[in-house]
Amino acid sequence: MSLFLFMLLVSILNPVVSHKSCDFPAVFNLGDSNSDTGGYASAFTPPTSPYGDTYFHMPARRFSDGRLTVDFIAEAFGLPFINAYLDSVGTNFSHGINFATAASTIRLPISVIPNGVFSPFYLGFQYSQFEQFKVRSQMIRKQEGFFSNLTIQEVNASIPDIINKFSANIKNIYNLGARFFWVHNTGPIGCLPYVLIAFASAEKDPAGCLKPYNEVAQYFNLKLQESIAQLRNEFPSAAFTYVDIYSVKYSLFAEPQKHGFELPLVTCCGYGGEYNYSAAVLCGGTITVNGTEIFVGSCDNPSVRVVWDGIHFTEAANKFIFDQISTGSFSDPAVPLKQACQS
């Protein structure tokens, strides 16, 4: 079980600039399951129905019922959805590539699939893939990763090294010619059902989330913001936009009704218990109860639910998140996504 799930999103963009908005001809994404559009499915096992049912009406190699935030970003620029680098047979990469795979980390993973829990395609490996592809492309974007099996104290102690690895990869990408970076901090991991179940005895906050684990995320975000400030000083010709996605996501758990959601801590596609989640049977699987086989499917109305499968967000939540962050209201500096080239 992963103890620390964080999400970083770095858009490194090479745009054509107009007076009002930026013309981004392609998007290149590095990350894990929050932005994986088919990498894990190509390398390992694809998610099955009801994944993808809301928008695609079929499994779409994504860990949600529909579109991800990266899909909405592509749509905002009038681009098609970004294909996975690992799904390279007959694929059109003229509008960008997605190097993300589920369960990826920033640092070299301690164990990898199939015997371990992490993807072998960690950030450094994804950077190498991008470097090899660089001659055929013009821009890039990066996202999240998993962390696991450590105490809170050990995770906090490891954060400076994680940030150093992150910064080193950003510098490498800068050296390949990137100048525009769109960076998301990590979300409130203490609100995810799989964490709520795994560490049920931890102190809860008024929203019902686990306070110590959200404090870990906040500490990581503090160090990330400090690293972005250092990168700005080191590379004054580049633009770094830091996006507070933590606040946006936490608002879904703290004030769900205000945003049109309900039961924010309860998994939409899951089975059992207070949070409708069990690590023993996941979304799309089956469980036998009193001799009857039960399929673990979607809730009746995922459009008003926050958490899809206990770890990832629903399409509706992803759309809400995109709508908030794309305006620049949660950015430092406060520039909209389409004007990130001018920050």
Q: In what order do the strands lie in the sheet with 180-184?
A: 96-98, 27-30, 140-142, 9-13, 180-184, 239-243, 331-332
- Res. 298 pLDDT band, cuts 50 70 90: very high
For residue 33, indicate whether it is catalytic: yes
- Single out the catalytic residue among 312, 326, 331, 343: 312
The string of pLDDT tens digits covering residues 72-100 is 988 988 888 988 878 765 566 667 788 88
pLDDT exceeds 50 at position 7: no
Average pLDDT of the residues in 144-153? 58
CA atoms within 13 A on the CB side of 15: 26
- This prediction has a pTM of 0.80
What are the tens digits of pLDDT across the range 167-223?
A: 998 898 888 887 878 888 999 999 999 999 999 999 999 999 999 999 999 999 999
Of 116-120, 286-290, 333-337, the poorest mean pLDDT is in: 116-120
pLDDT of 340 reads 78
Q: Which of 36-40, 180-184, 250-254, 330-334 has the lowest mean pLDDT?
A: 180-184
Average pLDDT over residues 307-334: 96
Cα separation, 134 vs 338, whole angstroms: 23
Mean pLDDT of the 101-126 span: 72
**What is residue 207's predicted lDDT score, i.e. its pLDDT?**
98
Q: In this predicted structure, what is the pLDDT of residue 1?
A: 29
For residue 88, the model assigns a pLDDT of 63
Residue 94's pLDDT is what?
66
Rounded to 5°, the CA angle 164-167-172 comes to 125
Q: Is the pLDDT of residue 102 over 60?
A: yes
List 11, 33, 137, 227, catalytic entry? 33
List the chain domain ranges. 4-253+315-334
- What is the identity of the amino acid at 304? V
Can you give the pLDDT at residue 260?
98
> Is 182:10 a contact under the CB 8 Å cutoff?
yes
Confirm if 117 and 148 have CB atoms less than 8 A apart: yes
CATH T-level topology, domain 4-253+315-334: Rossmann fold (3.40.50)
Q: Which of 36, 65, 309, 343 is catalytic?
A: 309
CB-based contact 105:123 (threshold 8 Å): yes
